[in-house]
Amino acid sequence: MKQTLLKFLKRIEPDKEKAPLLHTAYDAFFTFAFAPNTVTKEGVHIRDGMDLKRTMVMVVIAMQLCYLWGTLNIGHQHFAALGKYQQHILEGFHLKLFYGLVQILPIWIVAHVVGLGVEFYFAARKKHAVEEGYLVTGALIPLIMPPDIPLWILAFSIVFAVIIGKEAFGGTGMNVVNIALLARVFVFFAYPGTISGDEVWVSGLTKAAPGGVAEYGWIHLNVLNPLFENFGWSTFQAGQAVVDGYSGATPMALAAKGGWEAVTQHYTPSQMFWGLIPGSIGETSKPFIIIGALMLIAMGIASWRIMVSMVLGMVTMALVFNWWGFNAYMEIPWYYHFSMGSFLFAMAFMATDPVTAASTNRGKWIYGFLIGMIGLIIRVMNPAYPEGWMLSILLLNVFAPLIDHFVLQSNINKRMKHVQ
């Protein structure tokens, strides 16, 4: 069986010279199916079983619960605006799941086809194998976008991020800033209307506020509805109105306007913790993110130092703000900052990117702590954009080499001191 498959794959191998792009793509998929038969030549004779493919896939696996929740929550938020199926997330399960899938699948496909296309092109041009970094980037991008993001903007942002952020610097391992965040920040600055404000976090409404109505596409009405009817299940009904008093605002936006009081008028702390709130696709469910983070720590893939220090930095700053109490936002108890917004997601999956984070252990403590502090400052004090992790991580990405420089310099000085 294995030999037959191997023979078949070897037979269809495209010519490297005549079709370099095709060969690169073939090679990426071939090495995905079969671990190559290369043996060690010089240096060590045996190698650890760990490689970059496995590392990257483990991160993707750690994100899967966020995908599951994100998909359901797209549907849940949509129906919450219409005042339906609000008891718990499993009520109206088939509607929520399929609504979510119809939203998220195109995003996922575009993220991978466009991103991997760019990767394959550059790998073929530079004549090296496709490096696996994009596996994680491609999995992260859908999770940090709003559910209604126009696909062409998404594609554009990915091309920008991969070319300018990574390939221009030499590819995987050479990038200065986090590619997934660069894609997001590109959308944020170039097309702010699609990724900020109260309207964009709930999907499929003409307006995510009273006066809006539900809209469905061809797939919902002509494919899914007949299917559901067949089983005798409830169906999508276009034109339903958004309920009175509904606001699509995220807890962050509410907190910026009126502090904790404004937040609790719309959401309970437990809703925020479990993730039954509008937001970017994958960042709402705190328990699932925590499970992912614990998986990454247990497998030794993401740095626990960065995660812990980021928590410490955020808590420190939150305590300072609590004590300062200049406005209502500052007075939000420090522990609620964990369940509002995307702090945990940024901590688990964004700040820990090994390429763009500080690379020394002491540097990681400083790096994480500063992200925590600066991120909260941006979250609380920036009047235009009530969330801070994306910007603070990108800022510290740029400073990470400087932090490492000082750590290394202190090590060098220690060694040199003995010379005199």
Partner 1 sequence: MEIRTAETPIADNAEGDALKKLKRGFDVRLHGEAEKVINNQVQVNTFAVQPPNFAGISPMPKLEVQEGQHVKAGDALFFDKRNPDLIHVAPISGEVIAINRGERRAIQEVVILADRTIQYRTYAAVPNVENSSREALVAFLLESGAWPLIRQRPYNVLADQNAVPRDIFISTFDTAPLAPDLNLIVEGKAAVFQKGLDVLNRLTSGKVYLGIDGRGISVPSTVFTQANGVEKVRFKGKHPAGNVGVQIHHIRPIRSKEKVWTLGVQDVLTLGTLFLEGKYDASRIVALTGAALDKPAYVKTCIGANIGDLLKGHTLDGNARIISGDVLSGKSKLPAQFLDCYDDQITVIPEGDDYELFGWLLPSSARPSTSKTFFSSIFSNIWVYNVNTNTHGEKRAFVMTGQYEDVLPMDIFPQHLLKAIITNDIEKIEGLGIHEVVEEDLALCEFACTSKQPLQKILREGMEMMIKEGL
- Cβ 83 vs Cβ 212: under 8 Å: no
With binding defined as CB under 8 A, does residue 5 bind partner 1? yes
How far does Cα 216 stand from its chain's mean position? 26
Based on the shown chain and the rule CB under 8 A, indicate whether residue 402 belongs to the binding site for partner 1. Answer: no
CA–CA distance, 251 with 134 (Å, rounded to integer): 31
193 binds partner 1 (CB under 8 A): no
Residues numbered 351 to 370 that lie near partner 1 (CB under 8 A) are 354-355, 357, 359-361, 364
Contact status, residue 363 vs residue 408, Cβ threshold 8 Å: no
Q: Could you tell me which stretch among 32-40, 63-71, 278-286, 379-387 binds partner 1 (CB under 8 A)?
A: 32-40
Contacts to partner 1 from residues 129-148, by CB under 8 A: 129, 131-133
Of 358, 366, 360, nearest to 408 (Cα)? 360
Interaction between residue 127 and partner 1 (CB under 8 A):
no
Q: Which of residues 152-171 bind partner 1 (CB under 8 A)?
A: 170-171
* Size of the chain, expressed as the number of residues it contains: 420
Nearest-CA neighbor of 306 among 266, 379, 364? 364
Closest CA to 349 of 393, 406, 391, 387: 393
Please say which residue, 262 or 407, places its beta carbon nearer to partner 1.
407
Q: How far apart are CA 203 and CA 159, in angstroms?
A: 25
Residue 3: CB atoms within 10 Å = 7
Does 12 sit near partner 1 (CB under 8 A)?
no
- What does the alpha-carbon distance between residue 166 and residue 378 come to, in Å, rounded to a whole number? 26
* Near partner 1 by CB under 8 A: residue from 19, 298, 319, 402: 298
| Whole-number Å distance between alpha carbons of 150 and 340 | 25
Q: Round to whole Å and give the CA distance between 31 and 13.
A: 12
Which window, 96-104, 106-114, 115-123, 297-305, contacts partner 1 (CB under 8 A)? 297-305
Q: Exactly one of 36, 192, 193, 211 binds partner 1 (CB under 8 A); which one?
A: 36
Site pattern 302..321 for partner 1 (x: CB under 8 A): -x------------------
Nearer residue to partner 1 within complex by CB, 22 or 57: 57
Q: Does 46 bind partner 1 (CB under 8 A)?
A: yes
Q: How far is the CB of 263 from partner 1 (least distance, A)?
A: 38
Chosen residue from 43, 232, 239, 325 binding partner 1 by CB under 8 A: 43
Measured from the CB atom, the residue of 265 and 361 that comes closer to partner 1 is 361
C-beta closer to partner 1: residue 170 or 226: 170
Q: How far is the CB of 303 from partner 1 (least distance, A)?
A: 7
Burial profile 214-230: b = 16 or more Cβ within 10 angstroms, e = fewer: bebeeebeeebbeebee
Q: How many CB atoms lie within 10 A of CB 322?
A: 13
Residue 86, burial from CB neighbour count under 10 angstroms (0-12, 13-18, 19+): middle
Residues in contact with 161: Cβ distance below 8 Å, sequence separation at least 6, in sequence order: 137, 179, 180, 182, 183, 186
Supply the angle between the helices 304-324 and 286-298 in degrees, to the nearest 10. 140
Q: Which residues contact 117 (CB under 8 A, 6 or more apart)?
A: none
| 64 interacts with partner 1 by CB under 8 A | no
Closer to partner 1 by CB, 12 or 39: give it: 39
Binding residue (CB under 8 A) for partner 1 from 172, 194, 196, 225:
172
Output 17 or 42, the one with its CB closest to partner 1: 42
Count of residues near partner 1 by CB under 8 A:
58
List 159, 301, 308, 315, residue binding partner 1 (CB under 8 A):
301
**Contact positions toward partner 1, by CB under 8 A?**
2, 5-6, 31, 33-40, 42-55, 57-58, 129, 131-133, 170-174, 298-301, 303, 354-355, 357, 359-361, 364, 404, 408, 411-412, 414-416, 418-419
